[in-house]
Amino acid sequence: MAGVLFAVAVLAAVYLYYQNTLMNSHGKKTNETEAIQASSRQLLCWALLTLALIPLPSLAFDREVNVICAGLGSTMVNWWIPIRALSALYGRGPAYPAMQYDSLWMYFIALIAPVNFEFDKSQTRDASFLVRKAVQAGAVGLLAGGLERYLVPPDYLLATYILFLFVTAGFIQFQFDMTAAICVYFDLCSCSESFREPWFADSLQDFWSNRWNRMISTSLREGVFLPLTQGKPKSTWRTLTAVFVAFFASAVFHEIMLFHMLGKFTGLWLTYFSAHGVLAVVEGFITRSLPDIYKNIPYNAKWIVTMSVHLYLAHFFFWPVVMPGGVKEKFDHGVFD
């Protein structure tokens, strides 16, 4: 079954690639009906690709033996492959240039590579910088994990939450930035670091858009936010609606990933990221309505509010499925045992 679904997904991806390169070779369409029909076909094929990939992580990995592979596999096939394929249909993201230059192998690399592709030359990093960032993140993650596992009492929940946040960030950044360093070294693509000290964020927008897992935030921006806003009349409510839709898409992807790690739907991560979407909309409305007042709020005050929101929502909706015999226990066995 897994082989059949994988074959369907590959064929759907190849179809999307050749449809796009064919349209590029014929130039810009002049018939509006044809453009709508072509877009509909592509979106239907993209939906087939996405649906075929949903069951694969559970079919490929035993979550009881290796929850890390189940989680990472879900992140790849249920998250950034569909989002990058979708963004390419709108002329954005790392897969679109491969379509333009008619390079199928680069198209698949752009879909699957766990790196933060960077098209702004002022933000690109060399391989040595990325290796240094990866090593630093990995060391911090191991140190935090050791402290949490061997020194912090289990009932010190706040300390456990914070330390495991450093473990998660370090584990993800080590993998992503080390892969990015390899890609940059062999001149396959331009990249930048995947994390930028998220614990210093002074707003939800700063945390999610600029600092935490930038590869995912960039993909959501290119595949969800920009298609809903660009080329349309500017409107605060359209922008804020697109912000919430991007968060809701992230919520759905996280809930699918959690299913592949636990084997059940809980709705908690769906609620957690949707709640962040609502609060990000409120924050965006305030910053647009009262820009002068917001700018004069001290950094320390905004940082305290931002971190408090994270910890409060995480306590009720994120950590309950991680801590008590859940994802964390399986993660610890995979990393420390």
pLDDT in the model for residue 39: 62
H or E segment and range at residue 191:
strand 191-192
Per-residue confidence at 334, pLDDT binned at 50, 70, 90?
A: low
Q: Are 196 and 178 in contact (CB under 8 A)?
A: no
Q: What gap in Å lies between CA 110 and CA 93, rounded to an integer?
A: 9
Q: Are 185 and 111 in contact (CB under 8 A)?
A: no
Between 74 and 27, the higher pLDDT residue: 74
End-to-end, the C-alpha distance of the chain in Å comes to 32
Q: What gap in Å lies between CA 245 and CA 301, rounded to an integer?
A: 28
Q: Are 309 and 303 in contact (CB under 8 A)?
A: no
- Which residues, in sequence order, are bridge partners of residue 191? 117
| Amino acid at residue number 273 | F
Q: Which two tokens stand for residue 219?
A: 């993909």
Name the DSSP letter for residue 319.
G
Listing DSSP states for 103-163 in one string gives: -HHHHHHHHH--SEE---GGG---HHHHHHHHHHHHHHHHHHHHHHHHTS-TT-HHHHHHH
pLDDT 10s digits, 265-274: 888 899 999 9
pLDDT 10s digits, 9-50: 888 888 778 777 665 554 444 333 333 334 677 888 889 999
Is the pLDDT at 327 greater than 90? The verdict is: no
Listing DSSP states for 12-73 in one string gives: HHHHHHHHHHHHHHH-S---HHHHHHHHHHHHHHHHHHHHHHTTHHHHHS-TTT-HHHHHHH
Q: What percent of the chain has pLDDT over 70?
A: 88
pLDDT in the model for residue 178: 95
pLDDT in the model for residue 324: 57
pLDDT in the model for residue 328: 62
Is the pLDDT at 335 greater than 60? The verdict is: no
As a 3-state breakdown, the chain gives helix, strand, coil percent values, each rounded to 5, of 75, 0, 20
| Amino acid at residue number 289 | S
Name the DSSP letter for residue 296.
T
Distances (CA, A) of 281 to 221, 235, 275: 15, 13, 10
Q: Are 67 and 58 in contact (CB under 8 A)?
A: no
- Which residues, in sequence order, are bridge partners of residue 117? 191
pLDDT in the model for residue 273: 94
Q: What gap in Å lies between CA 161 and CA 159, rounded to an integer?
A: 5
Is the pLDDT at 337 greater than 60? The verdict is: no
Q: Which two tokens stand for residue 70?
A: 């189940």
Between 245 and 189, the higher pLDDT residue: 245
pLDDT in the model for residue 32: 37
Is the pLDDT at 315 greater than 70? The verdict is: yes
Mean pLDDT of the chain: 83
Q: Is 241 exposed, middle or buried, given 0-12, 13-18 or 19+ CB atoms closer than 10 A?
A: middle
Strand, helix or coil at 265? Answer: coil
Q: What gap in Å lies between CA 6 and CA 77, rounded to an integer?
A: 10
Per-residue confidence at 275, pLDDT binned at 50, 70, 90?
A: very high
Q: Are 93 and 46 in contact (CB under 8 A)?
A: no
pLDDT 10s digits, 158-170: 777 788 788 888 8
pLDDT 10s digits, 119-140: 888 888 999 999 999 999 999 9
pLDDT in the model for residue 300: 94
pLDDT 10s digits, 168-178: 888 889 999 99
Return left, alpha or beta for 336; rule: phi > 0 is left, psi -120 to 50 is alpha, else beta.
Answer: alpha
Instruction: For residues 203-221, give the mean pLDDT.
Output: 91
Strand, helix or coil at 9? Answer: helix
Handedness of CA 318, 138, 83, 11 (dihedral sign): negative
